[in-house]
Amino acid sequence: MRFLRTAVPAFAALLATLIATATPAAAVESGDLHDPFYSLPPGGVTAGAGEVIQHRAAEFRIEPTGLINQRVRSWQLLYGSADAEGRRIAVSGTLLVPEAPYAGPGPRPVVAHAIGTHGLGDRCAPSRALAGGTQYETILIKAMLDRGWAVVATDYQGLGTAGGHSYVNGRAEGQAVLDSVRAAQRLPGAGIAPDAPVVIAGYSQGGQAASWAAELQPSYAPELKLRGASVGAPAADLLLVAKGVDGTPAFGFGLTAAVGLKHAYPELPLEELFTDHGRELLADISDDCTLQIAAKYGMHSWDRLTTEDPFTRPDWRGRLAEQRAGQQRPAVPVRLYHSRLDDVIPYRAGTELKDRLCGLGASVDWDTYLTPTHMATFYAAAPATVGWLADRIEGRPAENDC
């Protein structure tokens, strides 16, 4: 275990976060929400897992400047995947491929970048943000592209496409991540080889998705040449997260998770468990993006918004437990990192995921940060994330802290 890069880099990362995310919030909400590209094909979804339904050329703009990166080819994809119950669905996403030929040995690697929280509204879809120059994770994506790697980023279920976004539904997220790689390999003209080395990276919601994708890969997508998964500050235990955000500035993300699980499991009671004011908040948050969620719903508490504690109900506790990462052993090394000073996802969620994965016999390279705040840690950890992924791509052995 290593304690990494603390005070001065943390302040610089936090400053970069504030600069990068404060200005372009309105742009995240822009775009034609009637864009037919995101519409499902007539007759419903018949595409298999990872099958490309349609695609189109897109722009990749660098946040926060909004300038187009001319050295990267970009496509928006609509591809087949599956929801938590195994039903066929269509998911949108973005594939980014450097224009220059890959200089390394073998085929060009592909990174399945599991995006963090963007919100619940279709206007918040990462594919829209990448094209509009408002994607807050661009700094990490650009670093990957600069190494010559291809990057594919899913929008997840219902974020852009029809239906509600099944936010923090682990199985649906993990399948969408793996199927995005399959779609990238099948896209004509993209040049992604079927035997390309694959790595997965994600932070926060993306950390949960990355862990699930690594756990599902041996059974769901065994043909992928997966080399490793970088998992940062994962929402690995939703019950723990829900209790952790209670009464804090991050409460809105707990509310978002409740709506997301209702989308995934319509039979779950939700509105009927809330007060009148609670129902107003549920309705209001349903099309909000990340910055609005952070700004509008903080400091609320479950007991003041509900008429019945959902976390004592077997139906809710059961569904929350199903989303817990660390239920199956990944076949590849996992880099797991978390800050002790995380103000959104409890540090304990990371340490307990490490214990579960180690108990399953996985190889876990565990890093503890002392960076203040959840988002600042993402930026502070970005260089180490890229370096760790490069080591996996190049075949170097990973440390195992189990």
Domains of the chain listed by start with CATH number: 2-237+328-393 (3.40.50.1820), 239-320 (1.10.260.130)
Element (H, E) at 335: strand 334-339
Q: Which residues pair with 97 in a beta bridge?
A: 73
What is the C-alpha separation between 119 and 125, in angstroms, rounded? 8
pLDDT score of 16 more than 70: no
**Which pLDDT belongs to residue 66?**
75
% of the chain residues with pLDDT over 90 = 84
pLDDT score of 252 more than 70: yes
Helix %, strand %, coil % of the chain (to 5): 40, 20, 40
Residue owning tokens 């994506």:
141
What is the C-alpha separation between 76 and 342, in angstroms, rounded? 33
Q: Which amino acid is at 284?
A: D
Q: Is the peptide bond before 98 cis (omega within 30 degrees of 0)?
A: no
Q: Taking residues 68-89, what's their average pLDDT?
A: 93
Dump pLDDT digits (tens) for 113-151.
Answer: 999 999 999 999 999 999 988 899 999 999 999 999 999
Residue 132: CB atoms within 10 A of its CB come to 18
Lowest mean pLDDT among 9-18, 42-51, 228-237, 372-381: 9-18
pLDDT score of 5 more than 50: no
pLDDT score of 192 more than 60: yes
Q: Taking residues 169-174, what's their average pLDDT?
A: 98
% of the chain residues with pLDDT over 70 = 92
Residue 276: CB atoms within 10 A of its CB come to 8
Residue owning tokens 């990174």:
111
> pTM, whole model, 2 decimals?
0.92
Q: Taking residues 5-21, what's their average pLDDT?
A: 35
**Which pLDDT belongs to residue 33?**
64
Dump pLDDT digits (tens) for 301-360.
Answer: 999 999 999 999 999 999 999 999 999 999 999 999 999 999 999 999 999 999 999 999
**Which pLDDT belongs to residue 134?**
87
Q: 214 near 175, Cβ under 8 Å?
A: no
Q: Taking all residues of the chain, what is their mean pLDDT, rounded to a whole number? A: 91
End-to-end CA distance of the chain: 9
Task: For the sheet with 197-203, list strands across it.
Answer: 2-4, 364-369, 334-339, 225-232, 197-203, 110-114, 150-154, 88-98, 72-82, 52-58
pLDDT score of 4 more than 70: no
